[in-house]
Homo-oligomer: A and B are copies of this chain.
Amino acid sequence: MIRKVCVVITARPSYSRIKTALKAISDNPELELQLVIAASALLDRYGTAVNYIEDDGFRIAARVYMVLEGENPTSMAKTTGIGLLELATVFDNLKPDVVVTIADRYETLATAIAASYMNIPVAHIQGGEVTGSIDEKVRHAVTKLADLHLVSTRCAARRVEKMGEDKHKIFITGCPSIDLAAEVLPNPKLDFNPFEKYGGVGDLERLLNGYLVVMQHPVTTEYRLAREQVMQTLEAIHDIGMPTLWFWSNVDAGADGTSNGIRSFRESVKPTNMHFFKNMNPTDFLRLLYNSKCLIGNSSVGIRECSYLGVPVVNIGTRQSGRERGRNVIDVDYEIEQIRSATEFQIRHGRYDSNKVYGDGKAGERISQLLAQAPLEIEKRLAY
């Protein structure tokens, strides 16, 4: 019997972290993919990831608008509630055999709860990692709801088991985001003009002598500081002066603070070395990253994809703290001077060796196999 696999994608980064698995699920004759697109993945302000998903040829089974405006803690909680309410209806109509939920966002939690209460087995991707922020709580809460743990690293597997999960339900697949990096690695040339393809003023020539990439998200448990935090980075990048491709942050509480900081800096300082982007096709983004001198910010891309690609990273603040990392990462505080000098060090250092801690490029295929063959059970019990 063909298993119906429902995957819920709710944000731009989640798509990169599941894309190769979606492909492998679609190609697996034992599986039927039911793709649900929800939350910020539908929104123009966050780059309308749904367009990339459709361009990649995936058919969408349901769309759910669920992001409540406010970008504060209250609206995040309420967004989770709306998602839960609506995803239950979606699952009730699609009747999947297993639901896949990704990482540690609020929609991840909504997905896991809806499926759990509906007696649908939950497969969780990227459990067992350790970070700061509310994500830490949510990730482990999802682990306690999940029936199948498809983790990225050995450490993650060990942690999930220590939390009392049955070790026969824990599988180290690697992270599908690394699969995309692995596809790019053999031929990593920057084969497109980001300005032409994704808007903005500038020409490719400018980038030939080296450029930086910035991705900095607000930290939800420190959301009132978002503006101040981004200001440190803006100043540092401005000082360094190298051309910089800056990606707008995601939809978390504090995003308004981050955006306001950037807008007001642009208006008052009028920096000439910064170019702003909303979103990019994941492969294009990885090429861009590969050819950059350094990634600056607090995105997990620095920890995951960049360690595989050997791209130098300056990781700021607590958002990724606790995550396993390669030698390519330097950790600094939200502080101009630290950011600037670490970035300059990385520019001088250049590329690092590739590190396979987050996967070897075959995660998507492994996930598809497991979803087709692993026993799907919903009863579980703390192992101790």
Residue among A44, A75, A81, A132 with most chain B CB within 10 A: A81
Residues of A126-149 whose CB lies within 8 A of B? 130, 132, 134, 136-138, 140-145
* CB of A218 closer than 8 Å to a CB of B: no
Give the chain B neighbours of A142 by CB distance below 8 A.
141
Give the chain B neighbours of A384 by CB distance below 8 A.
159, 162
Q: How far does the Cβ of A175 sit from chain B's closest Cβ, in whole Å?
A: 19
Give the CA-CA distance A64 to B68 in the complex, in Å.
Answer: 11
Known: A92-B63, A113-B80, A163-B164. Contact between A70 and B85, CB under 8 A? no
Instruction: Assess whether B78 is in contact with A65, with CB atoms less than 8 Å apart.
Output: yes
Give the CA-CA distance A68 to B87 in the complex, in Å.
Answer: 15
Q: How far does the Cβ of A95 sit from chain B's closest Cβ, in whole Å?
A: 11
Instruction: Assess whether A75 is in contact with B65, with CB atoms less than 8 Å apart.
Output: yes
Residues of A364-384 whose CB lies within 8 A of B? 378-382, 384
Give the chain B neighbours of A64 by CB distance below 8 A.
89
Q: How far does the Cβ of A363 sit from chain B's closest Cβ, in whole Å?
A: 23
* CB of A93 closer than 8 Å to a CB of B: yes
Give the CA-CA distance A322 to B382 in the complex, in Å.
Answer: 9
> Which B-chain residue is minimally distant from A122 (CB atoms)?
B137
> Which B-chain residue is minimally distant from A61 (CB atoms)?
B93
Residues of A69-109 whose CB lies within 8 A of B? 69-70, 72-78, 80-93, 106, 109
Instruction: Assess whether B65 is in contact with A70, with CB atoms less than 8 Å apart.
Output: yes
**Mostly helix, strand, loop or mixed at chain A's interface?**
helix
* CB of A154 closer than 8 Å to a CB of B: no
* CB of A119 closer than 8 Å to a CB of B: yes
> Which B-chain residue is minimally distant from A158 (CB atoms)?
B384
Instruction: Assess whether B118 is in contact with A381, with CB atoms less than 8 Å apart.
Output: no
> Which B-chain residue is minimally distant from A117 (CB atoms)?
B77
Instruction: Assess whether A109 is in contact with B113, with CB atoms less than 8 Å apart.
Output: yes
* CB of A11 closer than 8 Å to a CB of B: no
Residue among A74, A86, A142 with most chain B CB within 10 A: A74
Give the chain B neighbours of A117 by CB distance below 8 A.
73, 76-77, 80, 106, 134, 220, 253
> Among the listed B73, B77, B130, B380, which residue makes an inter-chain contact with A137, where contact means beta carbons less than 8 Å apart?
B380
Residues of A38-83 whose CB lies within 8 A of B? 40, 42-45, 62-70, 72-78, 80-83
> Which B-chain residue is minimally distant from A71 (CB atoms)?
B44
* CB of A114 closer than 8 Å to a CB of B: yes
* CB of A305 closer than 8 Å to a CB of B: no
Known: A69-B68, A140-B144. Contact between A74 and B45, CB under 8 A? no
A106-B117, A132-B381 given; name 13 further pairs at CB < 8 Å.
A62-B89, A65-B92, A66-B68, A67-B68, A77-B88, A77-B118, A81-B88, A119-B221, A137-B380, A138-B145, A140-B382, A141-B144, A159-B384
What would 10 A/B residue contacts be, using CB atoms closer than 8 Å?
A45-B256, A64-B89, A77-B87, A78-B84, A81-B86, A119-B220, A132-B381, A136-B381, A141-B145, A143-B144
